[in-house]
Structure 1
């Protein structure tokens, strides 16, 4: 049974995030375009105590968008974590992403590379996935790389792994996927039933955001967009988390089944009645358990 703290957050977090379904696609598109025009491109660090004293940040530009390289002070990292953040493809890096990434950097003695990639509806996967493949390839030339993707970032993270496998050469050591959105076709028939249980994600937005990210209905099933439907052979070992109060859990189950069918080493941890991206939410007992499992996997 979920903790009382989780039950509280399941009510509070969607309210803080102002979670609600869209009115219609044109209204939602206009709302997002206004919001994107006013975005602050700086790295949000409010949830990381003494950030400036503990980390250095170098912000680079990649194909017109910023990439933040976060390194704990006083170490020479032997590992790089490339973190593709979530947010439905329509939201930038936020404080929760930075908090989780910096905790991981300290625990692993690693740098974190966090691209603030182009957002839908103005942009599609074509503006993001190819440059992120090149970015990850460059870091692989310097040593061990872990690919991390949460929520909507989980799909591009897996798509990067597919592309790097296909081209040969150095590969990421492992993949970490947190409630990943890996099937944008929402082809799994039980998705609507799980949408009714999810306090945070909504089917209307899922369909709209998926269409914008794909750019064309013909691209929805492409492996760059819905990597759960692609060829999963020959991928690095992976760890994936999802809860069952999450609209995306049917897609995670599909990925886990297809992984087992082809012998891909994917460990899937499904937690009953937990909400979307629970491993990155602060102060949850369930997140602490997921954290321990994650560190054991990445050790």
Structure 2
């Protein structure tokens, strides 16, 4: 049975993040674009509010590829591991404090430098505006570092898998490990049972995901491309991967499809499905269920 804190998150997080159904796609697009243009929109600065003593404990770097890419590493250390982390947010929202908190935990437990790209967002941008640049940047890390962990959550999890396939197709060196939390791997929304999950997911809604998927694809013909829906692509020859997802998550049918297709492709993928848990539960601060997912992640990576 889910914890009381999980019940609180299931109630509060969707309301704090303005989760609701989609009444008018054009109005939603205008709302998102207005948010991106607003003075409170954070794109170049790391939101560090959930990490006590962040400036004292971590060193931060920034470069452009051409969009901003931040790095976080524990102060006074020379990490021998790189974690390349792609944030979620439906391809319309930037990195938030929960992502940064999770990144610092990875940096600390793995003695790693965490790379956090701030890739361009929809609807102003599509996958074509960042995919090759991200793949080039990731390939530079895998070429020079013996141990590279590729990770992501939600939309970022799908993007991570898409980049992984691109590196494989290029013949580039691949990351050693992959961690995907509630990855969005099928933007066609055709996965069986997706519509049934729409009724029980308190956070995500199928109509919004359909709109966001169309914006990210840019063209309906691109929705099924592996760069957009990597769960439908070729899964052979990929490195060991851990996937977590809850069953009150609209993305769980896609994760199940990914696990089934991974088995058929003989891709070493470990799939952990948590009954009655919500989207990206593994990242939520203080959650007992997230602590269990964290233990599995540490065991997988160490």
- Please give the TM-score of this superposition, normalised by the length of structure 1: 0.98
Of the candidates 193, 198, 201, which is equivalent to residue 195 of structure 1?
A: 198
In the alignment, the residues of structure 2 paired with residue 141 and residue 164 of structure 1 have an alpha-carbon distance, to the nearest angstrom, of 11
Aligned to 2:13: 13
Aligned to 1:137: 139
Instruction: Establish whether residue 152 from structure 1 lines up as the match of residue 155 from structure 2.
Output: yes
In the alignment, the residues of structure 1 paired with residue 181 and residue 77 of structure 2 have an alpha-carbon distance, to the nearest angstrom, of 27
Instruction: Establish whether residue 85 from structure 1 lines up as the match of residue 79 from structure 2.
Output: no
CA-based RMSD of the aligned residues comes to: 0.8
Secondary structure of 2:295's aligned partner? helix
Aligned to 1:270: 273
In the alignment, the residues of structure 2 paired with residue 192 and residue 252 of structure 1 have an alpha-carbon distance, to the nearest angstrom, of 15
Aligned to 2:242: 239
Aligned to 1:114: 116
| 1:241-260 Cα deviation digits (max 9, x unpaired) | 00000000000000000000
In the alignment, the residues of structure 1 paired with residue 172 and residue 194 of structure 2 have an alpha-carbon distance, to the nearest angstrom, of 37
In the alignment, the residues of structure 2 paired with residue 165 and residue 62 of structure 1 have an alpha-carbon distance, to the nearest angstrom, of 21
In the alignment, the residues of structure 2 paired with residue 151 and residue 238 of structure 1 have an alpha-carbon distance, to the nearest angstrom, of 15
In the alignment, the residues of structure 1 paired with residue 226 and residue 251 of structure 2 have an alpha-carbon distance, to the nearest angstrom, of 17
Report how far residue 169 of structure 1 moved: 3.0
In the alignment, the residues of structure 2 paired with residue 260 and residue 138 of structure 1 have an alpha-carbon distance, to the nearest angstrom, of 29
Secondary structure of 1:273's aligned partner? coil
- Please give the TM-score of this superposition, normalised by the length of structure 2: 0.97
> Structure 2 regions of 5+ residues with no counterpart?
none
Secondary structure of 1:141's aligned partner? helix
Query: Residues 23-62 of structure 1: matches in 2 within 5 Å?
Result: 23-38=23-38, 39-40=41-42, 41-62=44-65
Query: Residues 275-290 of structure 1: matches in 2 within 5 Å?
Result: 275-290=278-293
Moved over 2 A (4+): none
In the alignment, the residues of structure 2 paired with residue 167 and residue 147 of structure 1 have an alpha-carbon distance, to the nearest angstrom, of 17
Report how far residue 141 of structure 1 moved: 2.2
Aligned to 2:230: 227
Report how far residue 142 of structure 1 moved: 2.2
Aligned to 1:295: 298
| 1:137-165 Cα deviation digits (max 9, x unpaired) | 11112212110010010111001110111
Secondary structure of 2:36's aligned partner? helix
In the alignment, the residues of structure 2 paired with residue 211 and residue 155 of structure 1 have an alpha-carbon distance, to the nearest angstrom, of 15
Report how far residue 23 of structure 1 moved: 2.0
Aligned to 1:257: 260
Of the candidates 94, 98, 101, which is equivalent to residue 99 of structure 1?
A: 101
Instruction: Establish whether residue 175 from structure 1 lines up as the match of residue 174 from structure 2.
Output: no
Which 10-residue stretch deviates more, 11-20 or 92-101?
Answer: 11-20
Which 10-residue stretch deviates more, 123-132 or 215-224?
Answer: 123-132
In the alignment, the residues of structure 2 paired with residue 99 and residue 21 of structure 1 have an alpha-carbon distance, to the nearest angstrom, of 28
